Amino acid sequence: MIILAIDTSTDETSVAILNGQKILCNVISSQVRYHKKFGGVVPFLAQRLHKERIDSVISEALSRAQTDFSGIDAIAVTYGPGLAPALQVGVEKAKLLAVEHGLPLYAVNHMMGHISSCFSKNVAKFPMLAVLVSGGHSELVYTRSFGEYQIIGQTLDDSLGEAYDKVARMLGLGYPGGKLVAKLALEGDSAAYALPVPMLRSGDLNLSYSGLKNAVRLLIGEVSAEGPLSRKNIADICACFEYVAQESLLRKVTLALSMYPEVQQVALAGGVSANVRLRAHLRAILKKHDLELVVPANQKLCTDNAAMIGLAAHFGILAGQKPAEIETLDRIPYLSLEDVHFSE
Ligand code: KG4
Ligand code: ZN
C-alpha cells in the first residue's frame, strides 16, 4: 500500500510517501528560523506558515517519489497531540485530499509515530518498553503491540527536550538548543559541579525536570558572579546538566525493567533520541539485561517528520486500524497514547 503521510503538529511542515514500511521520501520544511526570535514555537505563526507551505511540500514529495495521486492508496495524518492551530492545517488538507481523490484517511497519534520511527528497518518485539523523549513529552510506555499502549511513567512538569532547550536559552546558546547543549556537553566535565538527580526517591516511574532547570539557573548565577562565563564554564554546566538529566531517566528505565521483566526490547524515540550519550548509556544498561536498543534509522526520523506518521499508519492498518470518518475527524491537541484503540 502506498501511503502519503502528513505531519503539521508543531513547526515542521512534513509530507512523506511510503510503500509499506519502505520510505520513498520524507520531505521536511522547517519553520525554525521564524520562531527563533521568539525563543519557542508561536502557534498562530506556525499555522500561517503551514498553510503557505503545505501544497508545495506535497508537490515536492510526489515529485521525489516520482508519482502523482493516481499512485497513492491512502492518506495518513497526525491529528494529535500537538498545537491546535498547527494540527488543524494538516488535518484539513488531508480531509480535502481524501475526498478529492477518493482515498481512505488514517488518523495517526503523533507519539505512536515517534515509536514507529524506530521500525523502518528494525523488527519490533513485544512487549516493548518505549522511551519517548521529545520537546513536548517524556514518557515511559509499556507497549503490548502497535495499538496497545500503557503510560507507566511520565514527566510531572517539563519534558526532557524542553529542559535542554531552556538550559540552552539560559546560557544564550540559541533555539532549539538541545543539540547545542549536547555538543558542548561533550567538551565539558560532568563532575565539575554538583546538581541533584531529580525524582531519585519517588519510587515510581515519573520524571521531573523543572527543579533541575532551576538548579541550573542558580548554578549559572553562582558561576557568573565570579566573572563572565568562559567556554569551559558553559561546557561544564552543559555536561553536568546532561549527566543529571539523563541519569534520572536511566534510573527510571532500570526500575521499569525490574518491574516489567517480560520486556523484550527497548525503543528510544523523539527528538532527544538523537543524543549520542543517551544512546550509549542506555545501551550499556540494556546489555546487562541482554536487551537490544532500537532507535530511528537516521537523524531525520528522530525529530518531527511525516515518514514516522506513514510508518504508524502502516503498523496501525496491520493491527486492524480502520479509516477515519472524514466528516467528523478533528484535531485533538491533548491526545494520549492510551487513546489508541484499533480493535473493537
Ligand atoms: O520530537 P521533536 O522533534 O519535537 C516534539 O515532538 O516535541 O523533539 C524536539 C526536541 C527539542 O527539545 C530539541 O532540543 C531536542 O528534541 N533535541 C535534542 C537533540 N536533538 C534534538 N536534545 C538533546 N540532544 C540532542 N542531540
Ligand atoms: Zn514529536
One domain for residues 53 and 160: no
One domain for residues 307 and 195: no
Q: Which CATH number characterizes residue 9's domain?
A: 3.30.420.40
Element (H, E) at 213: helix 210-225
One domain for residues 42 and 173: no
Residue-wise pLDDT for 173-195, tens only, equals 988 899 999 999 999 999 999 99
One domain for residues 289 and 171: yes
CB 216 within 8 A of CB 237: yes
For residue 265, is pLDDT > 70? yes
Distance 158 CA to ligand 1 centre (A): 13
**pTM of whole model > 0.85?**
yes
For residue 330, is pLDDT > 90? yes
One domain for residues 174 and 281: yes
Q: What is the mean pLDDT of the chain?
A: 96
Distance 339 CA to ligand 1 centre (A): 24
Q: How many domains does the chain have?
A: 2
Distance 178 CA to ligand 1 centre (A): 6
Would you state the cell numbers that stand for residue 204, as one nine-digit string?
515510581
One domain for residues 283 and 212: yes
Average pLDDT over residues 88-105: 98
Residue-wise pLDDT for 42-53, tens only, equals 999 999 999 999
The residue count of the chain comes to 344
Distance 304 CA to ligand 2 centre (A): 5
Q: Give just the sign of the alpha carbon dihedral 91, 93, 96, 98.
A: negative
Q: Which ligand is nearest to the CA of 175?
A: 1
For residue 81, is pLDDT > 80? yes
Instruction: Phi first, then psi: give them for residue 39, nearest 5 degrees.
Output: 75, 15
Alpha carbons 211 and 268: distance in angstroms, whole number:
24
Is 273 part of any domain? yes
Which residues are 18's β-sheet partners?
3, 23
One domain for residues 111 and 131: no
pLDDT band at 344 (very low <50, low <70, confident <90, very high): low
For residue 219, is pLDDT > 70? yes
Is 109 part of any domain? yes
Is 183 part of any domain? yes
One domain for residues 67 and 162: no
Going from the C-alpha of 281 to that of each of 72, 251, 285, 341, the distances in angstroms are 41, 11, 6, 33
Ligand 1 atom closest to the Cα of residue 82 is 6
Which residue's CA is the nearest one to ligand 1's atom 5?
135
Q: Give just the sign of the alpha carbon dihedral 49, 54, 55, 58.
A: positive
Residue-wise pLDDT for 227-258, tens only, equals 999 999 999 999 999 999 999 999 999 999 99
One domain for residues 18 and 79: yes
CB 86 within 8 A of CB 11: yes
Per-residue model confidence (pLDDT) at position 343: 73
Range of the domain at 274: 125-295
Pocket-testing residue among 8, 238, 272, ligand 1, by greatest number of atoms within 8 A of Cβ: 272
Per-residue model confidence (pLDDT) at position 154: 97
Q: Worst-scoring range by mean pLDDT, 37-41, 250-254, 305-309?
A: 37-41
Element (H, E) at 79: strand 74-80
Per-residue model confidence (pLDDT) at position 159: 96
Q: Which ligand is nearest to the CA of 165?
A: 1
Q: Which ligand is nearest to the CA of 186?
A: 1
One domain for residues 194 and 324: no
One domain for residues 142 and 266: yes
CB 326 within 8 A of CB 131: no
One domain for residues 249 and 269: yes
The candidate with the shortest Cα–Cα distance to 245, out of 308, 163, 312, is 163
Distance 291 CA to ligand 1 centre (A): 25
% of the chain beyond a pLDDT of 90: 94
pLDDT band at 199 (very low <50, low <70, confident <90, very high): confident
Is 344 part of any domain? no
Going from the C-alpha of 150 to that of each of 66, 100, 216, 253, 270, the distances in angstroms are 39, 37, 32, 15, 17
Ligand 1 atom closest to the Cα of residue 177 is 14
